[in-house]
A and B are shown apart, each in its own frame.
Chain A
Amino acid sequence: MATRKSNTLKLKFDTSWSYAPAPESKSAATINKQYDLFINGAWQKPSSKKYFDTINPANEEKLSEVAEANEADVNKAVVAARNAYEKVWRKMSAKERAKYIFRIARMVQEKARELAIIESLDGGKPIRESRDFDVPTAANHFFYYAGWADKLEYAFPNRNPQSLGVAGQIIPWNFPLLMAAWKIAPALATGNTVVLKPAETTPLSALKLAEIIQESDLPPGVVNIITGAGATGAAIVKHPDINKIAFTGSTEVGKIIQKAIAGTHKKATLELGGKAANIIFEDAPLDQAVEGVINGIFFNQGHVCCAGSRLYVQESVAKQVIKKLKDRLESLIVGDPLDKNTDIGAINSKQQLETIHKYLKIGKQEGAEMYETSCALPRKGFWCRPTLFTNVAQSNRIAQEEIFGPVLAVLTFRTEDEVIEKANNTPYGLSAGVWTDKGSKIFNMTRRMRAGVVWANTFNKFDPTSPFGGYKESGFGREGGLHGLLPYLNLAN
């Protein structure tokens, strides 16, 4: 419904229309009461004898408890991975290796609904996203890399690519299953074996994946999945028999890892933080651009390293765009992640909610103007209203630092040169966006922005064939596509 007012269409919300609840059923997912460590193809009790709870961030109820792997457990997993590498996986014909990975892809598809429910329960993301994005993209990632296994020499002309050995992989809580797929699929296709640790707040989908891997008859030890917090991750990073570290997470931890592996021969891929500039020119199709900006920052509650968290609007259309944004914000449905109508789910953890609140406070203190929607929030669980800041200065911390939440900083600019300067003036360089109707301007902008992924007239798009990764302090190495093979190979001829 819309009414015409001062030449712009305004969405009207004062109707009595409301959405009936449309919750996905929890009964389609099986969650065990307790999970052990998946080592050498079997579920093994942790030598720490400790378990920790994983909760549903939407209601703070306990979902399950998972084992906490200590150094001895990490060692056990690495030994299993090393054995599997030396005795089975590196010797297996690449064609057979491919078939295992294809099989895993198919099984993920078969169990897609269950995985989506678990992902939303454990992480708080809207079921629409886990169902339509996380799980299918994860399956596709396995399917894509499976096909590379027996074709590696075509990817690197004049080289004889060789696997590295055991890969230690540490993944974040924002896309738990998808990140597991991003890590495991290329590692297996290139002939490496894996020790993977999911984030402590979202271990369940990776443990479900372990069940799938077990069911797929993948040789024991080729993939080991162990749970734990920072100490477990540190034990993986420091283990002397690991050849490769792949980490997705914060820039702060990425730097610690880079230091920790100094002096070793471990290869590393780091996919770290970001503070993407999303740039709207006056000649852009504004309604489309506003949709893109909304998707850019509110997708997955803004828990996205490549989120378009800095919006640069050309001055001539700034007023109009901000008005449209506020309107659109008001229409976002915040609530039960399992409800199919939900746009914005729960914040992943109490700790993350505190971080976001800290930045909201800083934003106001630094003089920016805060706008949040008027939606009601559930009483239990961790929630944050979609928020935007206007009157933001380039030097404000909310424009410089990664918030990792549904918070948009809006800045303005006049010329192309100015906005390029501002957009690139950040230690990060993961992603960027530009909205304009002029083709030559698109390519001028996409070329000059120092970021690994640049979306023009779109945002937050991902595909297994498309390399992803950052410039500068957003990390190094690529995941996805042909370029995503390289971090798992030695090309010395």
Chain B
Amino acid sequence: MEKSIKKSSLSVSPNGLEKKTSSKRLEVLKTYKIYIGGQFPRTESGRFYTPVNATGKKLANVCLSSRKDFRDAVVAARSAFGKWADRAAFNRGQILYRMAEMLEGRKAQFIDELMQQDATKAKAEKEVNLAIDRLIYYAGWCDKYQQLFSTVNPVATSHFNFSVPEPMGVVSIIAPQSDSLLGLVSVIAPVIAGGNTCVVLASETKPLCSVTFAEVLNSSDLPGAVVNILTGKPSELLPWFVDHMDVNATIYCENDSTNRKMLQEKSASNLKRIVFYDTINWYSEKGESPYHIMDTQEIKTTWHPIENIAGSGGGY
């Protein structure tokens, strides 16, 4: 007989009452939905899949997102882009910090989900803690990376000339298959810290944390549609993630040479920027860096004349 979908493996029941009084109470299961434009719809396709863990236990009936879901998410992400990029960098930092606060508050739920998806308790705790700390790390970068990567250029004519990083726009992300929470947070945080919006495809085999993370985003101050999260199969959705003409960059985190080649080929349609993170260990120091923020930034250079009646000199 197949093992049924069961939400929790904790010994304490969800209402906190002792087992003997709750033994007859039916547990309320969570519906794992996708996150588009700040809402939690089911996939428009009506399809689902049922990932199982190593012991063969069904995790949930998870949305099998379609190409249309992706397109809807891109529309949402595009409409949110201008306002998110225009937010004060300081404000973006506060919002990322708020996301960390919300994640901290729901730590137990994430640990539980990670354990359902085969992690040991120690490993699950470590992953959740690191994910929280990673958000704090990027919260701090929001109003600093610009100072590090900007230049004032000493041109030889009398012009004020400076170069600053600007967000690329809408980024499509295929999140790491392993490290389903830490990997997810590690790829989303630098993208939105830099003012981009994104559409993310969660880990196919371990999707639970991504949906719960969407709930964290929803209860933090992050505007809806800055991050959109889909569940489903990369084998199905990958071409659409890189084909869409209103996506500016694509991030891919697996070391699959066939997919890499396909992504690079299709990116040519509108010269998307392609970022590969296939060699990064998200638990290591390399898992976090301001250079990751720069991976989805453009450099804009601005010129303006300096009045120069005396006729001497150059710029700043």
Contact = CB atoms under 8 A, between A and B. Distances in A.
Interface stretch (A80-88, A225-233, A464-472): A464-472
Contacts of B168: 471
Contacts of B291: 159, 491
Contact of B301 (A157, A255, A466): A466
Interface in A437-493: 442, 446, 450-458, 461, 463, 465-469, 471-473, 475-476, 478, 481-483, 491, 493
A467 B153 contact: yes
Interface stretch (A167-175, A257-265, A333-341, A358-366): A257-265
A405 interface: no
A463 B161 contact: yes
B257 interface: yes
Interface size on A, as a range, is: 35 or more
Given A263-B257, A263-B261, A463-B157, A475 B303 contact: no
A140 interface: yes
Interface residues of B, number: 36
A285 to B, nearest CB: 11
A454 B301 contact: yes
A442 B151 contact: no
Interface in B221-276: 248, 257, 260-265, 267-271, 273
Q: Which 3 A-B pairs rank lowest in CB-CB distance, beginning with the nearest?
A: A263-B261, A262-B264, A463-B155
Contacts, number: 110
A469 B297 CA distance: 13
Interface string B157-180: 101010100001100000000000
Interface in A66-102: none
Which of B169, B269, B298 has the most CB atoms of chain A within a 10 A radius of its CB? Answer: B298
B156 interface: yes
A446 B169 CA distance: 16
B302 A463 contact: no
Contacts of B271: 251, 254-255, 258, 270, 272, 472-473, 475-476
Contacts of A476: 271, 273
A367 interface: no
A456 B303 contact: yes
B1 interface: no
B313 interface: no
A458 B161 contact: no
A461 B302 CA distance: 10
A427 interface: yes
Nearest to B164: A447
Given A263-B257, A463-B156, 13 more contacts: A140-B156, A251-B271, A255-B268, A255-B271, A263-B265, A450-B169, A452-B298, A452-B300, A456-B302, A463-B153, A472-B248, A472-B271, A476-B271
B298 A453 contact: no
B305 interface: yes
12 contacts: A255-B269, A446-B302, A452-B298, A452-B300, A452-B301, A453-B300, A456-B304, A463-B157, A466-B155, A472-B271, A478-B299, A483-B151
Contact of A483 (B148, B159, B163, B273): B163
B83 to A, nearest CB: 12
A251 B163 CA distance: 24
B154 interface: yes
Given A258-B264, A465-B153, A466-B155, A481 B163 contact: yes
Given A263-B257, A465-B154, A454 B300 contact: yes
A450 B291 CA distance: 22
Interface string A105-131: 000000000000000000000000000
A18 B273 CA distance: 53
A481 B153 contact: yes
A157 B144 CA distance: 14
Contact of B153 (A442, A466, A491): A466
A468 B301 contact: yes
Contact of B299 (A258, A446, A456, A469): A469
Nearest to B279: A492
Contacts of A467: 151, 153, 163, 299, 301
Contacts of A478: 299
Nearest to B289: A158
A476 B264 CA distance: 14
Given A452-B300, A454-B301, A483-B299, A466 B161 contact: yes
B248 to A, nearest CB: 7
A242 to B, nearest CB: 16
A108 to B, nearest CB: 16
A261 B299 CA distance: 24
Contacts of A254: 271
B299 A263 contact: no
Given A157-B148, A258-B268, A455 B261 contact: no
B159 A461 contact: yes
A263 B301 contact: no
A196 B65 CA distance: 47
A360 B304 CA distance: 33
A481 B286 CA distance: 27
Given A255-B271, A475-B271, A465 B299 contact: no
